[in-house]
């Protein structure tokens, strides 16, 4: 019987060569990024009841600043009602607040509260500690190269 879901696993991680296939490089970057995802999940577990969806919303508002519900839903690819429910839960937990927009009393702006920032900082501290432990195993020159390339990759991905 044929394999319905053939593996995309190209095998163990190896250093890319000048002939490296983009798919192989993407797979290797994806594998490395799973370490970051695991660090985030570990941090979430340490914090308790913050779901992945709630974390996505909290991080989006923190990263992009105060915004209305429509902008938040669009940014995260969520329905307006789903985004509203998540914002409700985060507001009930004291992590987000809703305030009238300065330019329009009819528009409500969602923003991170000081308590929300504290939760995010604790999450980031756990994640940084885990990533730092991995980085400590690298030579200083390799860390500098990795940092430079990650900045380039981030810029390319944001375009």
For residue 130, tell me if it sits in a domain. yes
For residue 60, tell me if it sits in a domain. yes
- Ranges of the chain whose pLDDT falls below 50: 1-7, 10, 13
Domain count, the chain: 1
For residue 88, tell me if it sits in a domain. yes
Q: Is 47 exposed, middle or buried (0-12, 13-18, 19+ CB in 10 A)?
A: middle
For residue 153, tell me if it sits in a domain. yes
* Number of C-beta neighbours around residue 39 at 10 A: 20
For residue 93, tell me if it sits in a domain. yes
Q: Which domain holds residue 87?
A: 34-158
For residue 75, tell me if it sits in a domain. yes
Q: Is 100 exposed, middle or buried (0-12, 13-18, 19+ CB in 10 A)?
A: exposed
According to the model, what pLDDT value does residue 4 have?
A: 42
Is the entire prediction scored with pTM above 0.75? no
- CATH code (residue 124): 1.10.10.10
For residue 25, tell me if it sits in a domain. no
For residue 4, tell me if it sits in a domain. no
Q: What is the pLDDT of residues 6-47, one digit of tens each?
A: 445 545 545 555 556 777 778 888 888 887 788 777 777 777
- Strand blocks (E) in the chain: 96-101, 104-112
Contact 10, 27 (CB under 8 A): yes
d(CA 110, CA 60): 11
Contact 99, 109 (CB under 8 A): yes
């Amino acid at each position: 019987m044929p394999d319905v879901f053939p593996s995309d696993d190209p095998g163990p991680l190896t250093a890319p060569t000048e002939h490296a296939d983009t798919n192989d490089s993407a797979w290797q970057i994806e594998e490395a990024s799973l370490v970051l995802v695991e660090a985030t999940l570990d941090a979430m577990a340490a914090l308790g009841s913050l779901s992945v969806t709630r974390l996505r919303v909290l991080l989006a508002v923190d990263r992009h600043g105060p915004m209305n519900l429509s902008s938040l839903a669009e940014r995260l690819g969520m329905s307006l009602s789903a985004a509203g429910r998540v914002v409700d839960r985060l507001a009930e937990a004291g992590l987000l607040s809703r305030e009238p927009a300065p330019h329009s009393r009819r528009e409500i702006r969602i923003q991170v509260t000081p308590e929300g920032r504290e939760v995010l900082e604790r999450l980031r501290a756990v994640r940084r500690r885990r990533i730092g432990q991995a980085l400590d195993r690298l030579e200083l020159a390799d860390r500098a190269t990795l940092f430079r390339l990650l900045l380039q990759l981030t810029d390319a991905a944001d375009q």
